[in-house]
Amino acid sequence: MTATRRVTLITGASDGIGLEFARVFARHGHDLALTGRRADRLEALADEIAAAGRPRPLVLPCDLAPADAPGRLAEALTEADGAVEMLVNNAGFGLNGAFDALPREEQLAMVDLNVRALVALTHLFLPDVRAARGGVLNVASIAGFAPGPHMAVYYATKAFVLSFSQALHEELRPHGVRVTALCPGPVPTGFQSRAGIAESVAGSAAALSARATAEAGYAGFRDGRRVVTPGSVNKGLAMALACMPRRFLLPRLAARQASRRTDGLKSSHS
C-alpha cells in the first residue's frame, strides 16, 4: 500500500494570493494539494510546480460554498491517499455596496465561504494537523480590525477569521500546532474589480503584490506568529483601526468605501 502523503492543502489556489502561496510553499519543500473552482488553472499550476522539480501537487477541484463541499473535499483527499499537515484557508470573496441593496443570497454565500467553510475545513483536518504537529494559516484581512460600512458582511467575516485564528493559536500552541492569521491590505488581483471596488485602490501606498503578501504570510507562519500584517503602512493602519474610537472611525470608513465604488454590484471568489 502506498504511504500516505502529508500535504499542505491550499484553498482558492487558482488565482491571486492562493496561487502565490502554492509557489512559496512548494519552493520551501512542501508537498501540496490544491483546491479551487477552476480546474484548468489548478492543473497548470501543478504542472508548473512539477516542472520546477517539485512533487506534482494533488489537484482537487471543488467549489467550497455548498454546505457539503468540505466533506466531499476531505473524501477526495482520502481517496488520493493524502493527509493534511498544513492547511491554508485562503478561499473567499467580497461584495461592495449598501447592505440592503446587495442580494441576500450572495451575502449569505459570502458567509458560507468566508466563515462556515473555513471552520468546517479546520475542524475536519485538525486531527491530521495535530498528529503531524503542523499548522493552519487563515487568510483574514486588515478589514478584520474594524467595521466596514458598504462592505458590512465582508468586514464582519474577516473579523470572525481574525478572532477565530487568534483563539485557536492559544488553544493549539501547547500541542505544537501553529495557527496564524494573515491580514493583508490591498493586493492587486482580480478581487477589486469583481467586488465592485475602484481599480485605483490596488495602487495605493498600502498595496503589496500577491507574491510579497504570500511570502510575508509564509514567513510569519513558519515563525509561529499569531497575526501577520504585511507592509509598514498596513501595520500602522491596523494599529490605528484597533485604537480609534468608533464614533470617529465609522463616518470616515463609510465615506472612504463609498468613494471606492464602481458601477454594479459584483463579487470576487478566490
Whether the CB-CB separation of 79 and 58 falls below 8 Å is answered with no
Q: Model's pTM, two decimal places?
A: 0.87
Confidence of residue 32 (pLDDT cuts 50, 70, 90): very high
Q: Render pLDDT for 240-251 as a digit per residue (tens, 0 to 9).
A: 666 666 655 565
Catalytic residue among 125, 154, 155, 218: 154
Assess whether pLDDT exceeds 50 at residue 269. no
* 77: enclosing H helix or E strand: helix 69-79
Domains and CATH numbers, the chain: 5-259 (3.40.50.720)
Strands 32-34 and 5-10, by their bridges, are parallel
Percent of the chain with pLDDT over 90: 73
Angstrom distance (rounded) from CA 17 to CA 57:
17
Q: Render pLDDT for 186-241 as a digit per residue (tens, 0 to 9).
A: 887 644 444 445 555 545 556 789 999 999 999 999 999 999 999 777 776 676 66
3-state secondary structure at position 140: coil
Q: Render pLDDT for 101-155 as a digit per residue (tens, 0 to 9).
A: 999 999 999 999 999 999 999 999 999 999 999 999 999 999 998 888 899 999 9
Cell reading at 181: 492569521
Angstrom distance (rounded) from CA 123 to CA 53:
32
154 is catalytic: yes
Return the pLDDT at 219. Answer: 98
- CA–CA distance from 144 to each of 1, 61, 124, 225 (Å)? 45, 28, 24, 17
Angstrom distance (rounded) from CA 62 to CA 70:
9
State the burial class of residue 175 (Cβ atoms within 10 Å of its Cβ: 0-12, 13-18, 19+).
Answer: exposed
